[in-house]
Amino acid sequence: MAYVHGQFTVITVATKDISPYCKTSSYEGSAEVHQTTGYGKTAHTKQGGLLDGKFSCGGTYDNTASTGPRNALKPLLGTTVAVVRKPEGTGTGKPQDAFSAVLSKYVETNPVDDMVTWSAEFEISDVVTTTTQA
User: Could you give the angle at the alpha carbon of 57 between the alpha carbons of 53 and 63, nearest 5°?
Assistant: 145
For range 20-36, the mean pLDDT? 97
Does residue 70 contact residue 58 with C-beta atoms inside 8 Å?
Answer: no
Q: What per-residue confidence (pLDDT) applies to 68?
A: 83
Look at residue 63 in the predicted model and tell me its pLDDT: 79
d(CA 21, CA 68): 7
- Residue 38 clears pLDDT 80, i.e. is over it: yes
Q: Which domains does the chain have, with CATH numbers?
A: 6-29+48-132 (2.40.10)
25 strand-pairing partners: 57
Instruction: State which amino acid sits at residue 51.
Output: L
User: Binning pLDDT at 50, 70 and 90, where does residue 28 land?
Assistant: very high
Confidence of residue 126 (pLDDT cuts 50, 70, 90): very high
Write the pLDDT tens digit of every residue in 48-58.
Answer: 999 999 999 99
**pLDDT confidence band for 65 (50 / 70 / 90):** low
Secondary structure of 45-107 in HEC code, one letter for each residue: CEEEEEEEEEEEEEEECCCCCCCCHHHHHHHHCCCEEEEEEECCCCCCCCEEEEEEEEEEEEE
Kindly state the percentage of the chain with pLDDT values over 70.
Answer: 99
Under 8 Å between Cβ of 19 and 57: no
Determine the pLDDT at residue 97: 98
- Spatial neighbors of 11 by CB under 8 A, at least 6 apart, are 17, 18, 19, 22, 25, 57, 83, 84, 85, 86
**DSSP SS3 for 110:** coil
69-121 pLDDT, tens digit each: 999 999 999 999 999 999 999 999 999 999 999 999 999 999 999 999 999 99
* Residue 127 CB neighbours (<10 A): 11
